[in-house]
Amino acid sequence: MTFDLFRSTHKAIWDQLEKIPGPEPSFPLGNISDFSGQPAWEVCASYAKRFGGVTKIWLAGTPALVLNDPKIIGDVLGSQDDRYYKDAPHDALAPIITAENMFIANGATWQYGRSHSPFSYPVFAGWLDKIFPILQQFVRRRIRQTTGEIPDLIAWVRRLCYDAFSLAIWGELLGDNSYSQFMELAIAGNHRMLGLPVLQKIPPLSPEFYLRRSHWYEDFETRVAKAKSNPDPSANHLLGLTLEAGSMLTTQQLANQFSAPVYFGGVFSMASSIVYTLWCLNNAQSYCAVLKQDLGKLDRFDESQISLPLVECLSLDHALREALRLHPPVPLYFRNTNPRLQVDVGGHPVPPNTMLFISNWYLQRYSQHWDLPMEYMPQRWTDGGTQRNPLGSDYFFPFGRGPRTCIGQAFGMFFMKIAIAELLRAETLTLDPQWSLQSDYFFAVQHPKGLKATI
């Protein structure tokens, strides 16, 4: 009855999209209720099992497609990216991370942001080697300074990541105030992202929010201005290296590039993967013993030589890749079809500006591609596993695919390996044995919820 009412109310679009399979909508909300009470990416995976690689759903009276077909996802994110753009989560995040942030920008603004990101500059490659010992020593020190129970490991690791970024990019820690302002901005953004895309301007932001926001951003502008007026040719941090190499960006542009895309893009996702990996390894004791042995062998290298061996340590690399496969921190994101073009998706003509849900969750656990997909098996990456499934390929794209692939992928893999290795080497980290897997979702990133640890 409500289905008939829904169909007759939206008859014109209904007829156009009739051939695309999908769950039955009901009047007036369509399929929105499917998404209440369970993670959206699990709902998307359940559609794949019932309807195949392209599923039509209705967000009230607006149709959207859920994609679970690797070829179509590859086209949308890759070769045909001019036909699609990133709409969500622009409205939710623009006031928080700025509309120019490449994470939400499109067209020329995105192109400019991406090509002028410090992560795209030639200084980037040399920087990783330079900051390796600094970050390694920093993580060791932080572990030594922590004793007793950590009530929520994810919170501790987020702060570790925030501070590591600050050292690597700005050359110093930014302190408690900066971190709490950052978290307040993230909480505001998170509230706005939890709603449906059409509700992303809710809740509105308060004058206090704008005050904190300007404090957080102004601090970066002051730092860039200071670094410009007192150049330090011996600096190892990314800002110093970028200024040394010469940059066309203004103080404000540099401050923006070195702050929001990095901290909001990296802190939550890296913390999530570090904790998922530690937890998975804790449940795979024999693999973990081999990994610790490998890390022990690296300790015998001269410290100044250690960078490459650690980052290239295969057992560590495989442990991290496998956690990224099984527990991708960013399991769902969106594109829209170009509002000015008639676009076919998977051979189906769809109305302009149709929203597409893109998830790696189903494909990274797809049983016809992955043997025992629900098992944590780092060994699957040996013997050509990595070459068969490189980052950004059909069944493994935790950092996305195509031209908008995560710009922090190389730094992310680099720092996550350092952090995981140091936490394992410390031999003093114990995870709560009573904890069973529960995940939460914050700022578009899923992460382990409430895992206690002791150092």
245-253, 373-381, 393-401, 428-436 -> range binding ligand HEM (CB under 6 A):
393-401
Sign of CA dihedral 381, 291, 420, 411: negative
116 in contact with ligand HEM (CB under 6 A) = no
With contacts defined by CB under 6 A, name the span among 64-72, 92-100, 240-248, 403-411 that binds ligand HEM.
403-411
Distances (CA, A) of 56 to 53, 105, 212: 10, 26, 41
- Residue closer to ligand HEM (CB basis): 17 or 94: 94
> Could you give phi then psi for residue 354, rounded to 5 degrees?
-70, 135
Q: Check residue 197 for interaction with ligand HEM (CB under 6 A).
A: no
Pick the stretch among 63-71, 181-189, 257-265, 419-427 that binds ligand HEM (CB under 6 A): 257-265
Q: Which of 406, 419, 431, 455 binds ligand HEM (CB under 6 A)?
A: 406
In the complex, minimum distance from the CB of residue 293 to ligand HEM, in angstroms, rounded to a whole number = 26
SS3 85: strand
Q: Is 21 helix (H, G, I), strand (E, B) or coil?
A: coil
430 in Cβ contact with 451 (< 8 Å): no
**Type and span of the H or E element at 44:** helix 40-51
Q: Which of residues 265-294 bind ligand HEM (CB under 6 A)?
A: 265-266, 269-270, 273
Subset of 408-437 contacting ligand HEM (CB under 6 A) = 408, 411-412
62: phi then psi, degrees, rounded to nearest 5: -105, 125
Name which of 447, 338, 333 is nearest 401 in CA terms.
333
Q: Which tokens is 359 given? A: 């998830």
Query: CB 278 → ligand HEM: shortest distance, Å?
Result: 14
Count the residues of the shown chain that bind ligand HEM, applying the rule CB under 6 A.
Answer: 23
Our finding on whether 391 is near ligand HEM (CB under 6 A) is no
Verify binding: residue 261, ligand HEM, rule CB under 6 A: yes
- The correct pick among 127, 132, 216, 333 for binding ligand HEM (CB under 6 A) is 333
Identity of the residue, 17 or 273, whose beta carbon is nearer to ligand HEM in the bound complex: 273
Interaction between residue 162 and ligand HEM (CB under 6 A): no
Cα–Cα distance measured from residue 17 to residue 6, given in angstroms and rounded to the nearest whole number: 14
Task: Tell whether residue 330 is a contact of ligand HEM (CB under 6 A).
Answer: yes
Q: Which long-range contacts (CB under 8 A, 24 or more apart) does 238-243 make?
A: 238/118, 238/123, 238/124, 238/127, 238/168, 238/169, 239/118, 239/169, 239/170, 239/171, 240/171, 241/123, 241/126, 241/127, 241/130, 242/118, 242/121, 242/123
Question: Mask of contacts with ligand HEM, 50-89, x by CB under 6 A?
Answer: ------------------------------------x---
- Is 189 a binding residue for ligand HEM by CB under 6 A? The answer is no
User: Angle 103-310-171 (CA atoms, 0-180°, nearest 5)?
Assistant: 55
Closest approach of Cβ 148 to ligand HEM, in Å? 28
Q: Footprint of ligand HEM on this chain (CB under 6 A)?
A: 86, 102-103, 114, 261-262, 265-266, 269-270, 273, 329-330, 333, 398-400, 404, 406-408, 411-412
